């Protein structure tokens, strides 16, 4: 692509954004009004509006020849709102869980074929100051990742695992697809996931699903700690409280289950 083509593409994007800002500020506007505001020919404004209309970002206001913001904007804004709502709902719950369980609490969401931690609260018994926020972790070897995988349709799960692979991080990592599927079935029946030194030697974790208003699993909240202290018995003891915390976050997001 030539420099002039690249510059033209950036200019078109800039103009399209300006159209959206204009309609947000002024409300329904005619093509000539948009053209005058942007300082472009009417045909250019018409092409911009047509492209935005094809994506549902603008729509015509009846038969009056005016354009206004479309409901596609709501879809885009909803993605940001959902993320903000998750952080707002999760933080106080995670703080209570960290205090009650004594371990590190994380909230993770799916991004491509990883689980990405978006919030963390250190418990009073935490022995490490490691910050997991923003870190992309493997779906198949982490408790949060297993929660996110387990609640996906099988076809989508297979697609993600093909893309990511099942690398062995420790001797305990489940690198067999059969073994992982068996473990994911247990996640669904048990209501939470667990990992026993599967991502890092000496680190155990459990995680529970967080649902949105439609009941879809959109995140996982996890508790992790050193294997010598966060033993399988201790994990089973903490699991009901973690699940209850995840449900509380889900209810805050609008889940009625």
Domain assignment present for residue 40? The answer is yes
**Where does a domain end: 32, 48, 70?**
70
Domain assignment present for residue 29? The answer is yes
Number of domains in the chain: 2
**Where does a domain end: 16, 48, 70?**
70
Q: For the purposes of burial, counting CB atoms within 10 Å of the CB of 109, is it exposed (0-12), middle (13-18) or buried (19 or more)?
A: buried
Question: Sorting pLDDT into bands at 50, 70 and 90, what band is 72?
Answer: confident
Say if residue 8's pLDDT is above 90: no
For residues 36 and 156, membership in a common domain is answered with no
pLDDT at 12: 82
Across all residues in the chain, what is the average pLDDT? 88
For residues 96 and 65, membership in a common domain is answered with no
Domain assignment present for residue 110? The answer is yes
Domain assignment present for residue 75? The answer is no
CA–CA separation, 149 vs 116, rounded Å?
A: 13
Question: Sorting pLDDT into bands at 50, 70 and 90, what band is 133?
Answer: confident
For residues 27 and 56, membership in a common domain is answered with yes
**Where does a domain end: 26, 45, 70?**
70
pLDDT at 63: 60
Say if residue 251's pLDDT is above 60: yes
Average pLDDT over residues 226-242: 96
Percent of the chain with pLDDT over 90: 58
For residues 107 and 55, membership in a common domain is answered with no
Q: What is the pLDDT of residues 173-221, one digit of tens each?
A: 999 999 999 999 999 999 999 999 999 999 999 999 999 988 999 999 9
Domain assignment present for residue 49? The answer is yes
For residue 115, give the H/E element and its range.
Answer: strand 114-121
Whichever domain contains 64, its CATH number is: 1.10.10.10
pLDDT at 82: 56
End-to-end CA distance of the chain: 52
For residues 184 and 138, membership in a common domain is answered with yes
For residues 58 and 108, membership in a common domain is answered with no
Domain assignment present for residue 257? The answer is no
For residues 153 and 204, membership in a common domain is answered with yes
Say if residue 1's pLDDT is above 80: no
- The DSSP bridge pattern shows strands 217-226 and 104-111 to be antiparallel
Hunting for tokens 């709102």 — which residue is that?
81
Domain assignment present for residue 33? The answer is yes
Q: What is the pLDDT of residues 102-128, one digit of tens each?
A: 999 999 999 888 898 888 998 887 666
Average pLDDT over residues 4-11: 60
Say if residue 78's pLDDT is above 60: no
Task: Decide: 204 and 127 in contact? Cβ < 8 Å.
Answer: no
pLDDT at 74: 67
Say if residue 257's pLDDT is above 90: no
Give the pTM. 0.69
Q: For the purposes of burial, counting CB atoms within 10 Å of the CB of 40, is it exposed (0-12), middle (13-18) or buried (19 or more)?
A: middle
pLDDT at 84: 58
Whichever domain contains 142, its CATH number is: 3.30.450.40
Which of these, 164, 246, 157, lies nearest to 207 by C-alpha position? 246
Average pLDDT over residues 234-255: 95
DSSP per residue, 129-171: ----TT-EEETTTSHHHHHHHHTS-HHHHHHHHHHH----SST
For residues 84 and 132, membership in a common domain is answered with yes
Please give the structure tokens belonging to residue 70: 């479309």
Q: Provide the residue range defining the domain that includes 62.
A: 3-70
Domain assignment present for residue 210? The answer is yes
β-bridge partners, 104 = 224
DSSP per residue, 43-95: HHHHHHHHHHHHTTSEEE-TTSSEEEE-THHHHHHHHHHHHHHHHHHHHHHHH
For residues 66 and 104, membership in a common domain is answered with no
Say if residue 154's pLDDT is above 70: yes
Which of these, 129, 131, 161, 133, lies nearest to 145 by C-alpha position? 161
β-bridge partners, 203 = 226
């Amino acid at each position: 692509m030539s420099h002039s083509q690249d510059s033209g593409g950036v200019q078109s994007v800039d103009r399209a954004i300006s159209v959206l800002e204009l309609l947000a500020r002024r409300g329904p506007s005619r093509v000539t009004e948009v053209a005058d505001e942007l300082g472009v020919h009417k045909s250019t404004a018409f092409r911009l509006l047509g492209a935005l209309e094809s994506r549902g970002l603008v729509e015509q206001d009846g038969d009056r020849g005016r354009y206004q913001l479309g409901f596609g904007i709501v879809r885009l804004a909803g993605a940001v709102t959902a993320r903000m709502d998750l952080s707002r709902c999760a933080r106080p719950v995670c703080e209570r869980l960290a205090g009650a369980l004594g371990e590190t609490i994380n909230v993770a969401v799916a991004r491509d074929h990883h689980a990405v931690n978006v919030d963390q609260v250190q418990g009073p018994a935490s022995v490490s100051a490691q910050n997991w926020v923003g870190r992309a972790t493997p779906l198949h070897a982490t408790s949060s990742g297993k929660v996110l995988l387990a609640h996906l349709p099988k076809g989508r799960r297979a697609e993600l695992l093909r893309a990511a692979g099942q690398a062995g991080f420790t001797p305990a990592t489940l690198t067999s697809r059969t073994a992982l599927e068996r473990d994911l079935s247990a996640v669904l029946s048990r209501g939470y996931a667990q990992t026993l030194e599967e991502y890092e030697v000496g680190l155990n974790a459990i995680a529970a699903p967080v649902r949105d208003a439609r009941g879809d699993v959109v995140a996982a909240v996890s508790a992790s700690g050193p294997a010598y202290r966060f033993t399988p018995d201790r994990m089973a003891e903490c699991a009901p409280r973690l699940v209850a915390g995840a449900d509380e976050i889900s209810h805050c997001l609008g889940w009625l289950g």
